[in-house]
Amino acid sequence: MKHYEVVIVGGGINGAGLIRDLALNGVKTLLLDKGDYSSQTSEASSKMLHGGVRYLENFDFGLVQEALEEKNLWLKLTPHLCFERDFYLPLYNYSKYAPWMLGSGLFLYDFLSHFQNRPFGMLNKEQTLQTIPSLEPKGLKGSGKYYDGVVDDAKLTLECLYDALIEPHAEAKSYHEVIETKRVQDGYEVTYKSLMTGEKFTIHASFVVFTTGPFTDQLLPKLNIPWSPQLVPSKGIHLWLKPDAIRAQGSVVLTTRDNRVVFVIPQRDSILVGTTETPVDQEMFNITATDGEVQYLLGVLKQYFPNSKLDHSSIISTFAGIRPLVKAEGHTEALGKVSRFHKIFRPDSHTYVLLGGKYTTFRRMTGELAQEIVPRLGKRYLPNLTLNPLRQTSLMPTFGKKPELTVNLLKKIIKTERVTTFEDLIKRRLSMVENPASLETVMGLPVEVVKSCF
Ligand SMILES: Cc1cc2nc3c(=O)[nH]c(=O)nc-3n(C[C@H](O)[C@H](O)[C@H](O)COP(=O)(O)OP(=O)(O)OC[C@H]3O[C@@H](n4cnc5c(N)ncnc54)[C@H](O)[C@@H]3O)c2cc1C
């Protein structure tokens, strides 16, 4: 039976970040995902590398500072996958905060970044409307401007994985679902099944790590891992709007009537709008947006951009994901207030589970776990290896100048970037925002030509 020191179940950002750290530290590791890598929560985020201005309200200063440090690190390490962008927080007559309060909060935000953020500013009404001409002028007092990162979440996950797989002792398989685990001496036997061929495989692992995000509470009992539910799953949806749907040069942060936050972020020749926050208890895999959720976001947009023609025809596509929020002791708070802290669980001596946190802080969370596992394998853990640049970048960058998509380039992407399906290619390797099923051409190439390259 084949042996690995560590088997990681789940190839979202946490699985990819962990395999990278372990592989760089010389650990023989296998990562398995039942879908494409990064095809669940880690491609359904608001695509922000951020400290979270709103977490300042909860006095989560440590979390904000850590996240800002990570944001500024990835902006330097992967400029082809992320960029810093201006966000505007409009202030109205009825807003909860006075301008001086917002200014103080934004100063604190910059302070916590060790002044690595581009500096915040306060704008009057006219300056605000110059940048966001579509914004409702009635009652507008001005806005606070600050900077956060915008990231291609799916691709950063993929590139962390590619970096890991350069190491000869790291392996990964997509479309392979873990279906059984058996506790044996010195570890676990793990059985997984190819969802493409139906073939089953059993391997031995010294340690099994679950980075299965929102799926964890449902999965672990099925695999007979000792586990009590730890999550408060919370669904969030987003819309990709046509670029002319709203006239805004910068990103806008809107406060909703139910005191939530909706971001409007121009990027990838379109506008990303999100998100919602609703409890969820049904099937969580490949979750989609409901009409009610789409209407809710359109309603918020209509309130703030009353003169923009916004309806279903403004929408290019929608997507949804589930925040794997960890339940706090005696949890009674609204979902929006559940803290984004993370937790490492050890259900038994050979199993770990990493839950919660934010996309932005994945390197810190997976580093904490790697630091615990590596010495248990008799090796010395070097914490700084993940500060090095990623060594295999995507052939089609998300931001900046893109090469022309030719049949040769397509074949190379499919071969070297671990593509299995047409959807993997469209959504995660080419970072297109259109629904793959509705495409007639792909960056100028007819769909039949693209499909014939597989
Ligand atoms: C709406 C929304 C907005 C967000 N916005 C932001 C943001 O702007 N910035 C930020 O920092 N964070 C944000 N987050 C949080 C962030 O997206 C998550 O914390 C992060 O993506 C979680 O990653 P993960 O790897 O733990 O989970 P996932 O990406 O869900 O990965 C888990 C993987 O486990 C796999 N799996 C499940 N069962 C099995 C099995 N039996 N066998 C093999 N594989 C299995 C799944 O296929 C999946 O790929 C947001 C989250 C949501 C939902």
Structural domain ending residue among the three candidates 298, 323, 348: 323
How many whole angstroms from 49 Cα to the centroid of ligand 1? 15
Distance between CA atoms of residues 148 and 132, nearest Å? 17
Residue 245, domain CATH: 3.30.9.10
Residues 206 and 239 both lie in one domain: no
CA of 314 to the centre of ligand 1 (A): 27
Distance 170 CA to ligand 1 centre (A): 21
Do 435 and 360 belong to one domain?
A: no
Query: How many other CB atoms are found less than 10 A from the CB of residue 329?
Result: 4
Domain boundary residue, one of 273, 298, 323: 323
> What integer pLDDT is reported at residue 1 of this predicted model?
95
pTM: 0.96
Q: Could you identify the atom of ligand 1 that is nearest to the CA of residue 67?
A: 11
Residue 15 lies in a domain: yes
**pLDDT on residue 339:** 55
Counting ligand 1 atoms within 8 A of each CB, the residue from 31, 277, 359 with the most, and so the one to mutate, is 359
pLDDT at position 335 is 46
pLDDT at 331: 44
The angle formed by the CA atoms of residues 20, 22 and 28, to the nearest 5 degrees, is 110
Residues 311 and 189 in one domain: no
Same domain, 265 and 313: yes
Query: How far is residue 267 from each of residues 30, 121, 156, 367, 394, measured CA to CA in Å?
Result: 34, 22, 16, 30, 18
24 and 167 housed in the same domain: yes
In a domain, 84, yes or no: no
Residue 275, preceding peptide bond in cis (omega within 30° of 0): yes
Q: Is the CB of 15 under 6 A from ligand 1?
A: yes
276 lies in the same domain as 417 = no
- Residue 49: inside a domain, yes or no? no
Residue 64 maps to a domain: no
17: Cβ below 6 Å to ligand 1?
A: no
Q: What domain count does the chain have?
A: 3
- Please check whether residues 245 and 312 belong to one and the same domain: yes
Identify the pLDDT of residue 58: 80
Tell me: do 343 and 414 sit in the same domain.
Answer: no
162 and 211 inside one domain: yes
Atom 30, ligand 1: residue with shortest CA distance? 41
Whole-number Å distance, alpha carbon 230 to ligand 1 midpoint, is 15
Strands 351-356 and 342-348: antiparallel
Residue 442 counted as domain residue: yes
Spacing, Cα 9 to ligand 1 middle (Å): 12
Residue 217 exposure: Cα atoms within 13 Å on the Cβ side: 19
Ligand 1 atom, smallest distance to 360 CA = 11
The C-alpha atoms of residue 102 and residue 145 are separated, in whole angstroms, by 10
Nearest-CA residue for ligand 1 atom 21 is 42
3-state secondary structure the chain: CCEEEEEEECCCHHHHHHHHHHHHCCCCEEEECCCCCCCCHHHCCCCEECCCHHHHHHCCHHHHHHHHHHHHHHHHHCCCCEEEEEEEEEEECCCCCCHHHHHHHHHHHHHHCCCCCCCCEEEEHHHHHHHCCCCCCCCEEEEEEEEEEEECHHHHHHHHHHHHHCCCCEEEECCEEEEEEEEECCEEEEEEEECCCCCEEEEEEEEEEECCHHHHHHHHHHCCCCCCCCECCEEEEEEEECCCCCCCCCEEEEECCCCCEEEEEEECCEEEEECCCEECCCCCCCCCCCHHHHHHHHHHHHHHCCCCCCCHHHEEEEEEEEECCECCCCCCCCHHHCCCCEEEEEEECCEEEEEECCHHHHHHHHHHHHHHHHHHCCCCCCHHHHHCCCCCCCCCCCCCCCCCCCHHHHHHHHHHCCCCCHHHHHHHHCCCCCCHHHCCEECCEEHHHHHCCC
319 found inside a domain: yes
What domain range includes position 243?
A: 234-323
Domain boundary among 323, 354, 378: 323
Flag whether 147 is in a domain. Answer: no
pLDDT recorded at residue 329: 62
Residue 174 resides in a domain: yes
pLDDT in tens, the chain (454 residues): 999 999 999 999 999 999 999 999 999 999 999 999 999 999 999 999 999 888 888 888 988 999 999 999 999 999 999 999 999 999 999 888 899 999 999 999 999 999 999 999 999 999 999 999 999 999 999 999 999 999 999 999 999 999 999 999 999 999 999 999 999 989 999 999 999 999 999 999 999 999 999 999 999 999 999 999 999 989 999 999 999 999 988 999 999 888 889 999 999 999 999 999 998 877 889 999 999 999 999 999 999 999 998 999 999 999 999 999 898 764 444 444 455 688 999 999 999 999 988 999 999 999 999 999 999 999 999 999 999 999 999 999 999 889 999 999 999 999 999 999 999 999 999 999 999 999 999 999 999 999 999 9
Q: Which of 20, 191, 201, 212 to mutate to test the pocket of ligand 1 (most atoms within 8 A of CB)?
A: 212
306 plus 318 within the same structural domain: yes
CATH of the domain at 28: 3.50.50.60
281/248 same-domain check: yes
d(CA 173, CA 355): 22
pLDDT of residue 60: 83
172 and 187 both lie in a single domain: yes
Q: Is 11 in the pocket of ligand 1 (CB under 6 A)?
A: yes
